Amino acid sequence: MKYPKVCDYVPEPQPVSSDRIIACHYYPGWKKGQSGVHNGFADLQDYPGRTPLLGYYDEANPEVTDWEIKWAVEHGINCFIYCWYRYKTNLGKPVTREALRLGHALHEGLFHARYRQYMKFAIMYECSSAWGVATGPEDFLNNVLPFWIGNYFRREEYLKLADGTPIVYVYSPNALVEALGGPERCAETLEKARAILKKEGFAGLHFSACHSIHPIESFAAMPKAGFDSSFQYCWFMYPVMIGMENFEKCVKEQSRIIPSDLVIKTQLKRIQERIDYDPRYFMFTCSCMRDSHPWLNIPGIFSEESKKNLMFWKLTPSEWRSLLKKTRTLTDSLPADSIGRQIFILDAWNEWSEGHYISPNTGDGFQYLQAVREVFTDCSNLPDYRVPSQLGLGPYDYEWQNDIP
């Protein structure tokens, strides 16, 4: 049902204060026909509880982005980390907007949003083998880095440390290390990138490497390759994370569903493990759920071997709130100038098919966002829970109306 129009645009956000950056991973894979790997919202027809309260939206629409900004900042989330993909066909050439997979959410959506000043953003350089990384140091320094400087780092909204150093998150960092010629050459290349940034007037460039499931001993490799910090994208509950005995029990007795108490215990254990290893090196992530059923039958997303390790779980909003509280207590004890005390990461805003999301939806409403607000902010604002149809705005599913019942 759509109500009479009562305003001409998204109401202006009323941000709430937090003592740190609360960043949320953002997957821009929902504009019709843009993924090239999956079918966007068409994959969710059998999962109505995952329908966004924006409907099956178009991320290239700045009005959609303004709704997301409003809902995020009113609950304490003040940064989106956008997945950033380079097509392989662009390797060895200067990066352009056309060379980006799923660049629409940033370049057409966020950069033209009316309320963009309320939201910081960063990029997560997707370095898995499916996408273009770099042909070597020259390609990275001469083609990738200038695009980042001109299109992202110079923007006031880009996420930077207190001294003005931009942060780049790197997914599959080992692939970048290999592309740049091994650990020593990677470290040399990243240091050259920092030098270029300094010549451009920045304090430097901070590279953060994703480590979600590796044993603690492997962390030593990343500083040697030139990375400044480490983060998690998602807490994958694989055998190496929860222990083989727990894994086998969940497979046998619970159809691969992991009990919430084990999920919470595992995340807290791994976070404490990292703090004990080095309290200054890590940014910390909390994951609310993981259920990739919509993608299980899509060729090319999961190999048959990787499916053997897939597990499914979902914390209730109350359990999510408990995890956030306990994690906040851990990170509050970090040194004040540590990266983990300054920036906290949530997983994720909108991984609708991969199955981890806190963006408002028909199944859970705003409950996951409300938990974030209660734990990480001073609750000094009054969030607006009206959806577009109640204001006579939208709909935003115009691309999908003829394809999905």
User: What digits encode the pLDDT tens for the residues 11-30?
Assistant: 999 999 999 999 999 999 99
- Provide the 10 A C-beta neighbour count for residue 312: 17
Q: What is the distance, to the nearest Å, from the Cα of residue 196 to the centroid of all Cα atoms in its chain? A: 27
Q: What is the distance, to the nearest Å, from the Cα of residue 162 to the centroid of all Cα atoms in its chain? A: 21
Say if 3 falls within a structural domain: no
Q: 255 in the Ramachandran plot: left (φ > 0), alpha (ψ -120 to 50) or beta? A: left
Choose the weakest-confidence range: 37-46, 68-77, 84-93, 235-244: 235-244
Q: Does residue 366 contact residue 385 with C-beta atoms inside 8 Å?
A: yes
Integer Cα distance of 389 and 350 in angstroms? 20
| pTM exceeds 0.95 | yes
pLDDT at residue 172 tops 80: yes
User: What digits encode the pLDDT tens for the residues 266-296?
Assistant: 999 999 999 999 999 999 999 999 999 999 9
Say if 380 falls within a structural domain: yes
Integer Cα distance of 293 and 273 in angstroms? 30
Express as a percent the part of the chain with pLDDT over 90. Answer: 86
**pLDDT at position 275, please?**
95
Place of tokens 């779980």: 313
Rg (CA), the chain: 21
Q: Which domain holds residue 51?
A: 21-391
| Closest to 236 measured CA to CA, from 354, 368, 79 | 354
Say if 49 falls within a structural domain: yes
Say if 27 falls within a structural domain: yes
| Closest to 287 measured CA to CA, from 247, 237, 248, 339 | 237
Say if 4 falls within a structural domain: no
Token pair for 374: 């209660």
pLDDT at residue 399 tops 70: yes
Per-residue pLDDT, averaged over 83-101, amounts to 98
Q: Does residue 378 contact residue 36 with C-beta atoms inside 8 Å?
A: no
Say if 401 falls within a structural domain: no
Say if 398 falls within a structural domain: no
pLDDT at residue 379 tops 80: yes
User: What digits encode the pLDDT tens for the residues 337-376?
Assistant: 999 999 999 999 999 999 999 999 999 999 999 999 999 9
Q: How many domains, the chain?
A: 1
**pLDDT at position 240, please?**
83
User: What digits encode the pLDDT tens for the residues 207-247?
Assistant: 999 987 667 777 888 999 999 999 999 998 888 889 899 98
Q: Does residue 5 contact residue 391 with C-beta atoms inside 8 Å?
A: yes
CATH number, domain with residue 229: 3.20.20.80
Say if 8 falls within a structural domain: no
